[in-house]
Structure 1
Amino acid sequence: MTGRPGGRRVTGADVAREAEVSRATVSYVLNDSPHQRIPEATRRRVREAADRLGYAPSPAARSLRRGRSDIVLGLLPDWPIEHVLGRLVQQLTAALALHELTFLVHSAAHPARPLAEVWKALTPAAVLALDAFPETEAGAMRAAGIEVVMAVHGSAGSGNRSALVPEEPIGAAQARHLAPTHRRLGYAYPDLAGLGVLAGPRLEGVREVCAELGLAEPDVRTVSPDPGGAVEAVRAWRAADPPVTGVCAFNDAVALAVLAALRSLGLRAPRDLAVIGVDDLPGAALARPALTTIARDTDTIARVLAHRIVHALEGTGGRAEPVPELLRVQVRVSA
């Protein structure tokens, strides 16, 4: 007997008949059960039968054996899913797969299904949130036996709502790079309200360094990621008293808009205005001039977060400390 029986789901019993062994032997072999003396030839026959039939273990049965689901639900805020966020999702998927966990992502972009409907339908083992969500929702998840790792990105803050991956060090790294040669800094803030959870802490990092080094408060301008939206900000920075000579941009997209605005005004970076971004997008090195930026080691962040989820599921994790700063300044021409 080969092929999928009658178009229905292939079961362990089908594999047992195909391999001419007991159902228990199929279970022992396919689950790699320890302390079972099964000849290697029998093991091979069972695996070959399972392959021929296209057998896939029942997720419900696997969850029952483990005592939990193998799903980790990732909650994305209503942010643009660009290069860096997409890369982090891929790296988290790979890091969790090493622990036999499946990473599924749910975006809060309108009109998404209510979060409660999603987690109740999936019954994940854990939830990993890139931004905080109501504690009442988190409490309901925990009551259902779901581990919750909340507020991955955001402000270092304090207490239970502090971020595992704080954003202040990014702004601080930008400011420290510019401060030795610039006495007045500007900050290019994004024009999307949902990004405030990232932009606010990054700006605070710039402010802290300016205060520490005795520099004036940074001149903050909201900049949309297009040349026209950045022109007025560039004019305002240059007209300030004293003028702004170095700009920390929220990310590379905003920084590239500032560079484009400089070109449209007949100005150049870094001669007329130095610019530093965040993310090291593939296009940053191709910009005119090439963009100096802050790069973050998202692969290490993904592996650290995956281990924290595993420790939480195993009950071996204590209070989670923030992920260590994994930043580098990619120095190019613009700053």
Structure 2
Amino acid sequence: MAGRPNGRRVTSGDVAREAGVSRATVSYVLNDNPHQTIPEATRRRVWDAAARLGYAPSAAARTLRTGRSDIVLGLLPDWPIQHVLGRLIQQLTNAFAEHELTFLVHSSAQPARPLREIWKTVTPAAVLALHDFPESEAAAMRAAGTEVVLAVHGSTERELRPPLVSEEPIGAAQARYLADVHHRLGYAYPDLPRLDVLAQPRVEGVRGVCAELGLPEPDVRTVPLSPDDAVEAVKAWLAAEPPVTGICAFNDDVAQTVLVALRSLGLSAPDDLAVIGVDDIPGSATAQPPLTTVVRDIDAIAQGLARRIVDALDGKELPMGLIEDTLRIRIRRSA
């Protein structure tokens, strides 16, 4: 009786019939029950039958057996899913898999289903949000049985859920690198308000370094991902008094738009305006000129976030500190 019976979902009863054993024996074997002594030959017969039929225990059955779902629900804000975010999702998936947890991602980009419908449907063991959300929602999740609710970038009630990963050191690293040569800095802010949760702390990092070194307040200007629109920001930086000579960009996409705007004005980096980005996306090395950028350790961030979730599920007291985020500057020719 190899194959899925009549196209329906394979059950443990099908496996039992295929292997010639009871359903209880199938349950003991597939759940690796430590309190039952099952002959090795019988175990092999059950596993072989399950493999032939393509049997997989349902999520509900696993929850009943273990007392907990194996799902970690990842909540994404309405952000562009590009190189760095995609890599973080992949590394989180791998990190949770090491602990036999499944990372299930839900984006809030419209017309997505409401958040409450999602977590009520999957009843996750834990929720990891990349954006803030109301504390009332977190309380409702916990009341419904979700054991752990964490927000990477904190919440509006920051005393309740402080951020796990800080963005300020990124702006500070950019500013420190440029300040060795440039004494008036600008900041290229993204033209997407939903990215404010990342961009505002990075600007604060630049401001903090400027204040520490006695430099003027950074000249912050919004830079759309359109070279024609970016030209106006570049002109304003160069016309400032004193003129801006170094730009900290929100990320590599914004930085490359600034580089294109410079070329359209017959100018170049770093001679007329030095530019440093963030993320080291694949196109940064081939930009004209190649882009200097801040590189984050995405693998370490993912491992750190997964460890916080796993420890919390195991009932361990969570540390109050930030997830380690080692930064380095990849030096190229733009700054």
* TM-score between the two structures when normalised by the length of structure 1: 0.96
Q: CA deviation at 1:253?
A: 0.5
Q: CA deviation at 1:169?
A: 0.5
Partner of 2:51: 51
Q: CA deviation at 1:18?
A: 1.4
Q: CA deviation at 1:280?
A: 0.6
Q: Deviations over 1:5-43 (max 9, x none)?
A: 233222112212211222222112212222433232222
C-alpha distance in 2, partners of 1:233/1:150? 37
Secondary structure, counterpart of 2:180 in structure 1: helix
Letter aligned with residue 14 of structure 1: D
Structure 1 unaligned spans of 5+: none
C-alpha distance in 1, partners of 2:155/2:178? 22
C-alpha distance in 2, partners of 1:155/1:214? 32
Letter aligned with residue 219 of structure 1: D
Deviates more, 1:269-278 or 1:2-11: 2-11
Partner of 2:42: 42
Q: Over aligned residue pairs, what C-alpha RMSD do you find?
A: 1.7
* TM-score between the two structures when normalised by the length of structure 2: 0.96
Q: CA deviation at 1:319?
A: 4.6
Q: CA deviation at 1:155?
A: 9.1
Deviates more, 1:145-154 or 1:256-265: 145-154
C-alpha distance in 2, partners of 1:157/1:330? 36
Please say if residues 165 and 322 of structure 2, whose CA atoms lie closer than 8 Å, have aligned partners that are also in contact. yes
Partner of 2:324: 324
C-alpha distance in 1, partners of 2:320/2:112? 29
Q: Deviations over 1:93-134 (max 9, x none)?
A: 111111111111111112221111111111111110001101
Please say if residues 156 and 166 of structure 1, whose CA atoms lie closer than 8 Å, have aligned partners that are also in contact. no
Please say if residues 293 and 329 of structure 1, whose CA atoms lie closer than 8 Å, have aligned partners that are also in contact. yes
Change (3 A) 1:154 1:289: farther
Q: CA deviation at 1:315?
A: 1.2
Q: Deviations over 1:122-180 (max 9, x none)?
A: 11111100011011111111111213433313699952232101100100010011011
C-alpha distance in 2, partners of 1:102/1:205? 35
Verify: 1:103 aligned to 2:103, yes or no.
yes
Change (3 A) 1:155 1:65: closer
C-alpha distance in 1, partners of 2:156/2:62? 38
Please say if residues 219 and 244 of structure 1, whose CA atoms lie closer than 8 Å, have aligned partners that are also in contact. yes
Letter aligned with residue 304 of structure 1: G
Verify: 1:304 aligned to 2:304, yes or no.
yes
Please say if residues 275 and 292 of structure 1, whose CA atoms lie closer than 8 Å, have aligned partners that are also in contact. yes
C-alpha distance in 1, partners of 2:157/2:180? 28
Identity, % of aligned positions: 72
C-alpha distance in 1, partners of 2:224/2:209? 25
C-alpha distance in 2, partners of 1:206/1:334? 18
C-alpha distance in 2, partners of 1:290/1:157? 41
Change (3 A) 1:59 1:157: closer
Partner of 1:265: 265
C-alpha distance in 2, partners of 1:180/1:157? 37
Q: Give runs of aligned pairs for residues 73-112 of structure 1, distance below 5 A.
A: 73-112=73-112
C-alpha distance in 2, partners of 1:33/1:162? 41
Q: Give runs of aligned pairs for residues 51-200 of structure 1, distance below 5 A.
A: 51-153=51-153, 159-200=159-200
Figure out how many residues of one structure are paired with residues of the other and give that number: 335
Structure 2 unaligned spans of 5+: none
C-alpha distance in 2, partners of 1:323/1:311? 14
Q: CA deviation at 1:317?
A: 3.0
Please say if residues 154 and 201 of structure 1, whose CA atoms lie closer than 8 Å, have aligned partners that are also in contact. no
Letter aligned with residue 197 of structure 2: V
Change (3 A) 1:224 1:155: farther
Please say if residues 132 and 161 of structure 1, whose CA atoms lie closer than 8 Å, have aligned partners that are also in contact. no
Secondary structure, counterpart of 1:286 in structure 2: coil
C-alpha distance in 1, partners of 2:243/2:147? 50
C-alpha distance in 2, partners of 1:243/1:249? 17
C-alpha distance in 1, partners of 2:147/2:266? 55
C-alpha distance in 2, partners of 1:34/1:136? 41
